[in-house]
Amino acid sequence: MNINHLVAASAAAALAVIGFTGLAQAKSQAFAATAQPNESVWHLRAGLNVAALSCRGSGREKVAPAYSRLLNRHRTLLASSYALEQRRHGSGLDRHQTQLYNRFALQRSPERFCASAADVADQAVSMDSSALAKNAGSLLSRID
């Protein structure tokens, strides 16, 4: 089991514990637009991870193939973004990660989220890492 599966499992467990009201609060309170490109990169990766795991079935565009390519193409950028998240949040990283995944886990319109995430993932894969770092905030806003 890799880190993405573990984080997704943690997010699913948090969904059961926090419930809908807590999720709405976490989504609206915890994440304002961020000016730090590496933070946007990590948040974009988290959103696309949720989409890759949940966008399956009728009426939902698959995100997993593009997400897998994104992980491979931008491996170094993602690793450095995560390292900065670790330093920034310290002992609060687990809580931050839970809130981050919860932010994307409950969508009012899963079909719209999946369509947007599929488009964003395809665009992110087509960029080099410096372009992704520069554009992560605007890409993130499309799935947020």
Using alpha carbons only, give the angle 28, 18, 32 rounded to the nearest 5 degrees: 20
Question: What is the number of alpha carbons within 13 Å of residue 58 lying toward its C-beta?
Answer: 0
Residue 36 vs residues 29, 73, 117, 129: alpha-carbon distances, Å? 18, 21, 21, 15
Q: Tell me which residue range forms the domain holding 119.
A: 3-143
Find the DSSP H helices in 90-128: 93-105, 110-126
The single residue listed with the structure tokens 């410096």 is 130
What's the alpha-carbon Rg for the chain, to the nearest Å? 14
For the entire predicted model, the pTM comes to: 0.76
pLDDT in tens, the chain (144 residues): 455 454 455 555 544 444 444 444 444 334 444 447 689 999 999 999 999 999 998 878 999 999 999 999 999 999 999 999 999 999 999 999 999 999 899 888 999 999 999 999 999 999 999 999 999 999 999 998
Rounded Cα distance, 45 and 28, in Å: 19
Specify the 3-state DSSP secondary structure of 63: coil
Rounded Cα distance, 44 and 90, in Å: 20
Number of domains in the chain: 1
